[in-house]
Amino acid sequence: MVDNGIAALDRLLHQPFELLIIARELGALSGTALVAALRESHCRNRGIPVILVSSSREAIPEHLGIRHFIRRDLDLINTLPSRAMAVLGQP
């Protein structure tokens, strides 16, 4: 867990992950900009699934390959664990 997009991108470029759960609104680099940079990289995480968390209704650019979205609301804490498990294909 990191608190800004630049730090998150640095970790994603150098450490293996199975899933990225990211807020759309981040400091220094937005969640969608981070995913765009990740997808353009040649690192092992470039194709990992992404769950975007946001309160915004703004459309997600299709070329980013973000297939999972969770609304940032009061139910987030209940929704996130089961959604993450489903994305990873775990019961």
Residue 58: what pLDDT?
84
Instruction: Return the exposure string of 56-88: e unless at least 16 CB atoms fall within 10 Å of the residue's CB, then b.
Output: eeeebeeebbbebebeeeeeeeeeeeebbeebe
Handedness of CA 89, 6, 4, 72 (dihedral sign): negative
pLDDT string in tens for the chain (91-residue length):
888 889 999 999 999 999 999 988 887 888 999 999 999 999 999 999 999 999 888 888 888 989 888 888 888 899 899 999 999 998 6
- What domains are there in the chain, each with its CATH number? 5-87 (3.40.50.2300)
Residue 34: what pLDDT?
93
DSSP 3: S
Residue 30: what pLDDT?
87
